[in-house]
Structure 1
Amino acid sequence: MLKSTRIESIDILRGVVMVIMALDHVRDYFYYGSFFNDPTDLETTTPILFFTRFITHYCAPVFVFLAGTSAFLYGSKKTKPELFKFLFTRGIWLIILEITVNNLIWKFDLTFSRLILQVIWAIGLSMIALSFLIFLSRRALVLIGLIIIAGHNTLDQIVMNGNSLKSSIWYILHQSNFIYISDTHRIGVFYPVLPWIGIMILGYCLGALYSKNYEPALRKKWLLIIGSSVTVLFFVIRGINIYGDLMPWEVQDTTTKTIMAFFKVTKYPPSLAYTLITLGPALLFLYGIESVKNKITDFFLVFGRVPLFYYFLHVLVIHSLALFGMLIFGGNWQHMIITAEVFDNALLINYGYSLFIVYLVWIGVIAFLYFPSKKYMLYKANNKDKWWLSYL
């Protein structure tokens, strides 16, 4: 493995969630009825399907959180104005990539009839917000991040409708919804950005623990304390069941369904409970993995060091495989050009395969993506003088 000045534990965690993320997206494109059914619906799901979806909840918050951490580490070698310029321009670049490249590979729809704003958009807009906030003290940033994450669920009762400017701004900030441009074109704001900004801010603040002269033993101590406290706080808040998630849990007719109800937390936008149960264990993972070095960590390291490259490539490969699967095993391959019409007419309602096939495809996709990802990782490591690589 090529030596690097990058912090391996951060890249390993990012690599793990990138691999898990592919499972969720394979499920999106291959599981029976996945285009229209909720895998966490307690009336229709199974424990293994629920777990398959729940484990992938870790991807987006960890991805956004570590983007903030990486921003801090990048900024530790730059002046604040230089960091501002990088975060602001990269944020705009990510939003452009979301609107153009990401929407194209997710749907293969050249008309862009159903424009979806997802995690790349959220990271981009959060970076733009962070670019202005970095001039504040670290204490102020921690306070702002905590207030956003802990307090944004008080806004859940504010519900907007329609396509007015006020409603559209609210969709972007806190309420997942569609903005209808015309009868045939719409914008889906799947990642309302306010809580993601809070997550990135706290990720940025965590970067201080990875400063060059910070004592490793003290860092591990804080990772253990914070990670444990955040995880315990999830069970306390979820157990009280008054605040912290859009949907309180209820006792079900079986113990298994009750457990699933307890862990059924809201992602769009990420609730306090969702954020706690994902970032708490993630911090504990950073604590546990810091001194571990073996072939398994080297494997995940590859994906963690080329996250944007991997993200776009894995979506393209998974979607292409789904299209070829329809060509080979039957079905109308044109339905894999996912236009607004495909959704409006539920043309994929009876499409899909078993969960066993989903896992097989996932393993195959990861094995395939390892080689181009490693090649690109080595290219980046050997070409650090190319400034544009920091945007990819």
Structure 2
Amino acid sequence: MQYRIRSIDTVRGLIMVIMALDHVRDFFHISAFTADPLNPEATSGILFFTRWITHFCAPSFMLLSGISAYLSGQNKSARTTSSFLIKRGFWLIFVEIVFMTFAFSFDITYKTIFLAVLWALGTSMISLGLLVRFLSPKAILAVGLILIFGHNLLDYAKVAPNSVPDILLSIFLTGAGKFYPRGDGGNIAFLYVILPWAGIMMSGYGLGSIFKRSFPVAQRRKLLLITGAVSIVLFIALRLLNGYGDPSHWTVQKEGFRTFLSFMNVSKYPPSLLFTLMTLGPVLILLALTESAENKLAKFFTVYGKVPFFFFMLHFYVIHLFTMIAVLSSGYTWQQATDDKLFFKFRPFDFGYELGWVYLIWIAIVLALYFPCKWFGDYRAREKKWWLSYL
């Protein structure tokens, strides 16, 4: 199964490296907290696509996690696979609340608990784990596609603001980053909804059957290429119609290029149908093209793709620590750097560099983490310990 694992790890490693760019931009770009990089009326082309390219990360990771869940469960009972997915899902939610919230904020009081990518991944694994016990992979694929193609119907649902139905819809299906108060005076930020992301993971699980050793390689490549191309064409067609599939419609701008930016600016929070088609179409094609890739670049990305959880956790702490050092060495006082008004500690709103410096910092951090990731990947391959499957 080495060629399949290499293909999946290569693509996953690529998206992890791209993901790091967005997080470096959040902490180091001068306008990250004061301007929307996707606003077609005000952004620049390079800033827009610096943010836009990172849209591929979360859906790709969900899809690949679903495929990996299928492959890892091939020689296990449905009950065992279900149990593992549910336990790992709750573990990821715990990590999100305790470790990732602190990585985001560096706030020891946990005034705001952030439920973001690992929350979405964890709840998706729990959802998938519940279905694995009772449904076949084809049935799970069908459920996933229904969620992907149908959840935007709820864009038209009207419920009373802040009512129980509104809160439940927001958390499970329609939320675009909601903050809800806790009883202790703090907040819980639901940045990622549950079911649209779970639908992508379920679809990946259903797709996993074409990655079995017995499945013909040529047929798998053909299916991936066709499905990817159809997804891209469907995205373009639905986006041109400017109706169903995304709550944010594109508009004609003062320049043709800015109209194109508006066309490409689809909704990630929550992930709309068009967002999912736009991102996963190219990823499916990339999976086909990297099936047997053995060049140096593919091997480079594979190092990160083999240890996605390790890289994800480590790179966030490294980025925030570097930000703290840069802020304090730039003349900000401790009081300014830890002001209660700051969204993230040690990240003043007026701190930051131009985009060129952001790219240099991103490259430096990715390269700095290469050998730690390689070491941990080799350690995981060498040591077959049960707890390593949770990392």
When normalised by structure 2's length, the TM-score is: 0.95
Deviation at 1:172, TM superposition (A): 1.5
- Residue of structure 2 in register with 1:173 after alignment: 172
- Aligned pair count reads 388
Contact 1:223 1:284 in 2 (8 A): yes
Deviation at 1:38, TM superposition (A): 1.6
364-373 vs 135-144, which deviates more?
135-144
Flag as ranges the 4+ runs of structure 1 deviating above 4 A: 3-6, 159-165, 333-339
Q: Which amino acid aligns with 1:120?
A: L
Distance 1:162 1:331 in 2: 41
- Verify: 1:86 aligned to 2:84, yes or no: yes
- Verify: 1:304 aligned to 2:302, yes or no: no
Deviation at 1:170, TM superposition (A): 2.3
Q: What whole-Å deviation, never above 9, does each CA across 1:135-187 have from its counterpart, x for those lacking one?
A: 31233222211111011111113366766544432221121311112584111
- Residue of structure 2 in register with 1:372 after alignment: 372
Deviation at 1:43, TM superposition (A): 2.8
Distance 1:188 1:132 in 2: 25
Q: Which amino acid aligns with 2:126?
A: I
Distance 1:354 1:182 in 2: 40
Distance 1:304 1:211 in 2: 20
- Residue of structure 1 in register with 2:74 after alignment: 76
Q: Which amino acid aligns with 2:351?
A: Y
| Gap change, CA 1:330 and 1:4, over 3 Å in 2 | farther
Q: What whole-Å deviation, never above 9, does each CA across 1:227-280 have from its counterpart, x for those lacking one?
A: 111111110111111111110101111011011000001000000010001000
- Verify: 1:221 aligned to 2:233, yes or no: no
Contact 2:147 2:199 in 1 (8 A): yes
- Residue of structure 2 in register with 1:360 after alignment: 360
Distance 1:319 1:121 in 2: 20
Distance 2:256 2:138 in 1: 43
Q: What pairs with 1:242-261 in structure 2 (closer than 5 Å)?
A: 242-261=243-262
4-13 vs 301-310, which deviates more?
4-13
Look up the SS of the partner of 1:51 in the other structure.
helix
Look up the SS of the partner of 1:266 in the other structure.
coil
159-168 vs 37-46, which deviates more?
159-168
> What is the identity percentage for the equivalent residue pairs of Structure 1 and Structure 2?
45
Contact 2:328 2:337 in 1 (8 A): no
- Verify: 1:189 aligned to 2:190, yes or no: yes
Distance 2:277 2:5 in 1: 24
- Verify: 1:383 aligned to 2:383, yes or no: yes
Contact 1:335 1:342 in 2 (8 A): no
Look up the SS of the partner of 1:179 in the other structure.
strand
Distance 2:374 2:226 in 1: 34
Contact 2:142 2:203 in 1 (8 A): no
Q: Which amino acid aligns with 2:389?
A: S
Q: What pairs with 1:82-121 in structure 2 (closer than 5 Å)?
A: 82-121=80-119
- Residue of structure 2 in register with 1:19 after alignment: 17
Distance 1:360 1:333 in 2: 26
| Gap change, CA 1:163 and 1:180, over 3 Å in 2 | farther
Q: What pairs with 1:201-240 in structure 2 (closer than 5 Å)?
A: 201-240=202-241
Distance 1:125 1:306 in 2: 20
Look up the SS of the partner of 2:252 in the other structure.
coil
Contact 1:109 1:338 in 2 (8 A): no
| Runs of 5+ unmatched residues, structure 1 | none
Contact 1:91 1:124 in 2 (8 A): yes
When normalised by structure 1's length, the TM-score is: 0.94
Look up the SS of the partner of 1:178 in the other structure.
strand
Q: What whole-Å deviation, never above 9, does each CA across 1:44-72 have from its counterpart, x for those lacking one?
A: 21110000000000000001111111100
- Residue of structure 2 in register with 1:35 after alignment: 33
Look up the SS of the partner of 1:111 in the other structure.
coil
| Gap change, CA 1:13 and 1:324, over 3 Å in 2 | same
Contact 1:15 1:303 in 2 (8 A): yes
Q: What whole-Å deviation, never above 9, does each CA across 1:325-344 have from its counterpart, x for those lacking one?
A: 012222245555585x3249
Distance 2:59 2:106 in 1: 27
Contact 2:303 2:370 in 1 (8 A): yes
| Gap change, CA 1:79 and 1:163, over 3 Å in 2 | same
Distance 2:113 2:358 in 1: 26
